[in-house]
Each structure stands twice: as C-alpha cells, then as structure tokens.
Amino acid sequence: MKCVFLGNSMIIMKFGGTSIKDVSCIRRVIDIIQSRLDHSPVLVFSAMGKTTRLLLEAARSRAAGNSESADFLKKDIEEYHRNIASELFGRKGTDCNLETLLEEFSCAFRSIPVHDRLSDQDHDRLISFGERFSTAIMVSALKKAGIGAIDLDARRIIRTDSRFTRAKPNMDSTRSAIREHLIPESSRRTVVTQGFIGSDEKGNTTTLGFEGSDFTAALLGWGTDAKEIQIWKDVPGVMTADPLIIEDVKTVPSLSYDEVEVLTRCGAKVLHPMTMAPARKKVIPVRILDSTNPNAPCTLISRSGGKGGPVRSITIRKDMVTVRIKVSRNDASRLFQKMQSENKDAGCPWICFSEKDGITIVTSADNWKTVASSSGLLNYSQNFSSSMALISLVGAALTGYRLRQQEVFEMMGNIPVQILSCTISPMARHLLVKETDSLSALRLLHENIFCLKHPSNFYFEVSHVKDSACWIRQNGTID
C-alpha cells in the first residue's frame, strides 16, 4: 500500500527511540517532518535508542546500593546524549537545553534512597528524563533546520491518575489541557512533546506503561480531532509475524482497530494496548510507517480494516503456563468471575473446560502467581506445566471458523501441539506448544499460511461449537 495523506488537517507524528537513536537517524526524521509541514504536525518523541532501559537499570542499581554500576550507567547515558548534541550543534552542544536537564537528572538520581527497592514513583520520575532529553535535542535540531518548534512538556497536557508505572489518563482533564495549551500553540509553531509521560493532579510525574508513546500520540489525536495519527518505527508497518523471529514476513496493508487490539492482547508489541481506544472514539486512522524508508509499504488501521485473508498476523507469547484444576463447572464459573474482578491489572487468564472434571488455565507465569494467590486456586488439586508458548492466529475473518485439526497436526509433523477452542476473542485462534518447539511451530504456520500458493483458509472450517463450549485437541503429549 502506497502511503497517501487524507487531507490538510492536523496530523500527529510519533517517532520511536530507534528512529532517533543517532545523528543520521535524526536528520532523516527531520527530512520526513519537513515533507509534512503542510499538515500542521504535532510531534511526539520517545527516548533515544535504548535510553529507557539504561535509565531503569541505573536507577535500580542505585536503589540496590550498587553505586559503581549505577554511576557507570549514569555516565553512559549522559555521554550518549552529549555526543549527539555535540555532533548536531557543535563541540559543546550549547544550542539546546540538554545541560540544564542533565543537572536536574543528576539531582534526581542522587535523591534515590540507597539499599531499598526502587519505588514506582521514583521509577517514573527517573525514567521520564529519557523523553525529556530527546525532545530538548529534537527541538533544537528542528530549529536549526528552519522549523519553528516549541517543546511543550507532556506533563502539562497528559493528566493521569497516580498509578505510577501504569497510569491511566483522566480523559476530561487531558482534553481540557490539550485545548488550553497545545491547540493554541500549534497554530503558531510546530509543537514537540514527549511520549510516555504525564502527571497526576499533584504534579507528580507518571508514565503510561510499555510503548506508552503510542498511547500519547493517540490521546493527542483524540484531543485535537486530528486527521491522522502516524506511528513511525523501524519496520514497514505491522508484519505478518515478528520480523526478529521470522525472516520472510510481509507488511499487513490494512487492519481494523479491533484486530490490532486483539494482536496486542495476544502478545504483539507493535503498539501500546490502549492506543486504539482514543482513535476509535473519533474514528481517526492510525498509520504505522518505517522511518528508515518513508516510501516503504505501511499499515493503515481504521474502523473497517480493509480486505485480507482469514489470518492477518501471527503472535507468540512465551513463558506461559498451563494449570489443570479438578473443579466442578459451577466452581469454575465462580473462580473465573473472581479472577476477573480481583486481577484486572494482571490480566485475566484464558480458561478452557478440559474433559468433564475440571478446567485448564493458560496464562503467563507472572500472571499465574498473582491469580493463584488472590483467587483461591491453590486450594484445588492441580497439574502444572511451565515453559509453554501460546501461538495466536488473528484476523477478523476468523470469526465463526475453527482450525482444521487433522491438517494442522499434519503440518506440525513431530511437534506436539494443542489446539484451544477457547479464545480471548472471536478474531483469534490459539495453539499451545512447548517453548523449545515454539520457533519451529511458528515458522511452519507462517510459511503455510502466508508463503505458500494455496489459500490460508485450507486450515479453517466453519465452527459449529458455541464459544462457551471449550475443549482442547492435541496430537501428542506436551506436558
């Protein structure tokens, strides 16, 4: 799909950390921005390169009392940004506000209590410097390129609750702040702001969680009634599988909001899980583009999602566990409701009725620890299997269809696999394998569904099983 613009109204452009990791990347991004100035872009930047990971590692080392490691990481972060600024603006990089921020960072870093666990509030306060460093540098780089840019602190416009590390935006307050601060400024200059960060009602810095910069872009699109939200990464859109695992992946040209939400729930790290919600409310298209090659194929996410085969993309989640519990169906229903109410933040596990004497829970290892301790599951007889991987096939056209068991088993050959009829969405179908077999299974599925000449619906048939009737079929023992 060739990327074309949908009008001259405001667009939101978010650039990920790999898109601005060095000077050559920054200059390429500035060229991209210059080509789109007629669309009144609002620019959202993540932390540069691997800065967020290094900041977290440094902060944890400081809290743990490992001063040597903490100081080394801190120095590495500072030198990384100073070197970029120096290459862009001269030997001292004095054209940007970086040094002032670095001094503030040093003070905040030294204030972390030693020999204690890093608190969630300190986590957010320290991690936020990554985005603040990047916008300071990018604003100066844009000005040097002749673009009238202004750094608008995201903490002034993204208003959240106080759940540090996973803050939830206050939509009314955020909309009011966007209208008060961002929209008037955008009529005069190109607004640059940070992704990922916000502030609570007391002014404390908060963060939105993994890939939170995508969520920021969606919130700004929603608050400004933008014509389009653009997410610039280092891959050409949403792919048919993880390109770090599968070599011959293809760009999915179009997806629906619902399909992308299911992909993220199934483990795809393409976007923050909440990114689609603000865009859907205002029916704003979201486009995923490649900053390394702006003319490469891209993915357009919209309400309808366009045309495509039954499977749009395949995801994989490792470090999964399966727990078979002997319990009546009535008790199973009660436990499921309890897990939903008590473990909303941890995520609800998938439950399948196994035979007639119990249930099977499939969830992440971390989630199981939370679920089991708070839901009373440890009081029941269990059969526990760890080191599993859940492979999910996702596509709106899968609704009403199920996997053809025999064809899938033949495709997998000697790889033991379980097919789950129970699913987190009508748009998803799940297979369970051992982690040691997961890459081979994923490659076989991807090759047969996306790379061979026969249609991918060869592996699907109309389902006559109601969603509530869950079962497992397997071609071998995987416990």
**If you average pLDDT over residues 456-473, what whole number do you get?**
50
Which of the following CATH numbers is that of domain 313-474: 3.40.1390.10, 3.40.50.970, 3.40.1190.20, 3.30.2130.10? 3.30.2130.10
Contact between 183 and 224 under an 8 Å Cβ cutoff? The reply is: yes
Contact between 272 and 212 under an 8 Å Cβ cutoff? The reply is: yes
Alpha-helical (H) ranges within 111-232 are: 120-144, 171-177, 183-186, 212-224
| pLDDT at res. 51 | 97
| pLDDT at res. 163 | 96
pLDDT in tens, 323-373: 888 877 677 777 767 666 655 554 555 666 555 677 778 888 887 877 777
CA dist., res. 446 & res. 304, Å (int): 24
The pLDDT > 90 percentage for the chain reads 65
| pLDDT at res. 465 | 42
| pLDDT at res. 1 | 46
Q: How confident is the model at residue 401 (pLDDT cuts 50, 70, 90)?
A: confident
Distance, C-alpha 220 to centroid of its chain: 17
Range name among 160-169, 258-267, 414-423 with the lowest pLDDT average: 414-423
CA dist., res. 210 & res. 146, Å (int): 33
Q: Give the 3-state secondary structure of residue 12.
A: strand
CA dist., res. 373 & res. 64, Å (int): 27
Instruction: Answer yes or no: is pLDDT of 477 > 80.
Output: no
Q: What are phi and psi of 165, to 5 degrees?
A: 80, -15
CA dist., res. 247 & res. 267, Å (int): 19
Q: Which CA distances in Å does 173 have to 42, 181, 182, 275, 452?
A: 19, 12, 13, 18, 51
Q: What are phi and psi of 223, to 5 degrees?
A: -75, -20
| Domain range list for the chain | 11-302, 313-474
**If you average pLDDT over residues 368-382, what whole number do you get?**
72
| pLDDT at res. 403 | 84
CA dist., res. 478 & res. 472, Å (int): 12
| pLDDT at res. 368 | 81
pLDDT in tens, 106-134: 999 999 999 788 999 999 999 999 999 99
| pLDDT at res. 421 | 72
pLDDT in tens, 167-186: 999 999 999 999 999 999 99
DSSP 112: S
Instruction: Answer yes or no: is pLDDT of 437 > 90.
Output: yes
CA dist., res. 81 & res. 51, Å (int): 9
Contact between 216 and 169 under an 8 Å Cβ cutoff? The reply is: no
What is the gyration radius of the CA atoms in the chain, in angstroms? 24
User: What is this structure's pTM?
Assistant: 0.89
Q: What are phi and psi of 295, to 5 degrees?
A: -95, 5
pLDDT in tens, 279-298: 999 999 999 999 999 999 99
pLDDT in tens, 34-69: 999 999 999 999 999 999 999 999 999 999 999 999
**If you average pLDDT over residues 230-259, what whole number do you get?**
95
The amino acid at 289: L
Cα 404–427–322 angle (5° rounding)?
A: 70
| pLDDT at res. 466 | 41
Instruction: Answer yes or no: is pLDDT of 15 > 60.
Output: yes
* β-bridge pairing 299-302 and 254-256: parallel
CATH superfamily assigned to domain 11-302:
Acetylglutamate kinase-like (3.40.1160.10)
| pLDDT at res. 211 | 81
Using alpha carbons, select from 267, 212, 229 the residue that is nearest to residue 393. Answer: 267
Contacts of 127 (CB under 8 A, 6+ apart): 52, 55, 56, 59, 196, 197, 207
| pLDDT at res. 468 | 36
